[in-house]
Amino acid sequence: MVCADCHVPEPGGRGFLAITYKGQCNDCHGLKFDTELPWREVPHGDDTGTEAAVEGFYAIIALKGGIAESQEPKLDRRDALAAWVAQKTNAALTMIFERKTKTVIGCFYCHVPDSAGGPFRAAPVMMLTRFLAPARFDHAKHAPIECGDCHGARHSQASSDVLVPGIERCATCHGTETASFQVRSTCASCHDFHRPEFGPLRQTVAAPQ
Residue type, 65: G
Is residue 33 within 8 A of residue 40, CB to CB? The reply is: yes
Residue 41 lies in a domain: yes
Q: What's the rounded Cα separation, in Å, for the pair 81 and 84?
A: 5
Residue 207 lies in a domain: no
Do 145 and 99 lie in one domain? The reply is no
Per-residue pLDDT of the chain (209 residues; tens, 9 = 90+): 889 999 999 998 989 999 999 999 988 888 888 877 788 888 898 888 888 999 999 998 888 776 654 455 455 567 778 888 999 999 888 888 876 555 546 888 888 887 766 656 788 888 887 888 778 889 999 999 999 999 999 889 887 888 999 999 999 999 988 888 999 998 888 887 777 777 776 666 665 66
Residue 122 lies in a domain: no
Domain tally, the chain = 2
**Dihedral, 93, 112, 22, 151 alpha carbons, nearest 10:** -150
Range of the domain at 52: 20-109
Residue 149 lies in a domain: yes
Q: Classify residue 143 by burial, with Cβ atoms within 10 Å: 0-12, 13-18, 19+.
A: exposed
